């Protein structure tokens, strides 16, 4: 069970968790834990069930890849069995639109951090920038940002830094860039479209581009527009639609796109009352 939401602050909004918290996954059913019995809910939904053959379990929720704290865009959310599919989604390709700013570096490599360096950029042309982008396409080595979700001794590097602890940069690691193009150049700002593999940091890319141009640069805005088969325009559930009914509809639409998932999978819901949201649960 997979759905996609449009994230505005780099993480799964508490609103989503609060919408799903009162629910239990009941062998393929998202069922309200308060007031109405499983049998009555399933009967209202027109589903024949055998009480002895159904196993009740707590609803598990996970997501397929952390967004930067200031980033927006696609976040794939797994519910129940869908949490097992997230590893493959996390390793798949992603697309981003990034607005970079020349001449200014920060400790976080984006606009949320403290300025650490400023350099001139007035002699940089659009052609210079386009030529540099070629060096960052294909299989490259990249040093992850210090402020990141990477962990040391089980704790995020960003959390350690905020507590004032000394953190060493992680060594460069191989990453893949499928495509990289310049969409707009209006100094000091420039806009990039990036398609990359797992483990890639757009903040590091923009910082490295600045260094290649003999200046510095940081990310001003970052939006994930696609993750795996899911796009921001076609599949993302916007914040005003984070309700159990809308999530159920999104579950049906998004789960059908996954390899090996039956296209006829159904998630039944009612607009009123405490009815079951059901799906075929292939085990």
* 21-43 confidence digits (pLDDT tens): 544 443 344 444 343 333 334 44
> Cα(110)–Cα(218) distance, rounded to whole angstroms?
5
**218 and 98 within one domain:** yes
The residue out of 188, 204, 227 marking a domain boundary is: 227
Domain with 66 in it? 2-90+230-278
**260 and 214 within one domain:** no
The helices-and-strands tally (H runs, E runs) of the chain is: 8, 17
> Cα(239)–Cα(236) distance, rounded to whole angstroms?
9
**210 and 183 within one domain:** yes
In a domain, residue 140? The reply is yes
**79 and 50 within one domain:** yes
pLDDT, tens digit (0-9, with 9 covering 90-100), for 188-204: 999 999 999 988 999 99
Q: In whole numbers, what is the pLDDT of the chain averaged over residues?
A: 75
Q: 282 or 49, which is more confident? A: 49
**238 and 137 within one domain:** no
Count of beta carbons in the 10 Å neighbourhood of residue 60: 14
**116 and 84 within one domain:** no
- Residue 101 sits in a domain whose CATH number is 3.30.2350.10
**216 and 150 within one domain:** yes
In a domain, residue 283? The reply is no
In a domain, residue 270? The reply is yes
Residue 50 has pLDDT above 70, yes or no: no
Tell how strand 23-26 and strand 2-7 pair up: unpaired
In a domain, residue 237? The reply is yes
Q: Known catalytic residue: 68?
A: yes
Domain count, the chain: 2
**223 and 115 within one domain:** yes
In a domain, residue 147? The reply is yes
In a domain, residue 174? The reply is yes
Instruction: Read off the pLDDT of each residue in 63-75 and give the average, rounded to a whole number.
Output: 81
Query: Active-site residue among 6, 68, 110, 208?
Result: 68
Structure tokens at 45: 């939904």
Q: What is the pLDDT of residue 153?
A: 65
Q: What is the pLDDT of residue 201?
A: 93
Residue 133 has pLDDT above 90, yes or no: yes
In a domain, residue 186? The reply is yes
């Amino acid at each position: 069970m997979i759905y996609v939401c449009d994230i505005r602050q780099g993480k799964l909004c508490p609103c989503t968790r609060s919408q799903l918290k009162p629910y239990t996954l009941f062998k393929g059913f998202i069922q309200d834990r308060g007031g109405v019995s499983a049998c009555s809910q399933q009967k209202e939904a027109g589903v024949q069930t055998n009480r002895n053959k159904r196993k009740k379990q707590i609803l598990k929720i996970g997501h397929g890849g952390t967004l930067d704290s200031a980033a927006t865009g696609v976040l794939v959310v797994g519910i129940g069995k869908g949490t097992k599919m997230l590893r493959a989604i996390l390793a798949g390709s992603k697309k981003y639109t990034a607005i970079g700013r020349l001449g200014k570096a920060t400790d976080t490599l984006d606009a949320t951090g403290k300025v650490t360096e400023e350099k001139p950029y007035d002699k940089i042309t659009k052609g210079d920038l386009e030529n540099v982008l070629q060096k960052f396409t294909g299989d490259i080595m990249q040093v992850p940002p210090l402020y990141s979700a990477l962990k040391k001794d089980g704790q995020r590097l960003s959390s350690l830094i905020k507590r004032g602890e000394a953190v060493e940069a992680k060594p460069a690691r191989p990453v893949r860039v499928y495509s990289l193009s310049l969409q707009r150049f209006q100094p000091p700002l420039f806009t990039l479209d990036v398609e990359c593999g797992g483990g890639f940091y757009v903040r590091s890319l923009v910082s490295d581009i600045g260094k290649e141009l003999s200046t510095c640069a940081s990310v001003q805005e970052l939006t994930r527009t696609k993750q795996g088969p899911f796009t921001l325009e076609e599949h993302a559930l916007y914040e005003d639609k984070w309700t159990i009914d809308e999530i159920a509809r999104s579950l049906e639409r998004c789960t059908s796109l996954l390899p090996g998932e039956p296209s006829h999978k159904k998630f039944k819901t009612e607009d009123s009352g405490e009815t079951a949201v059901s799906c075929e649960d292939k085990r």
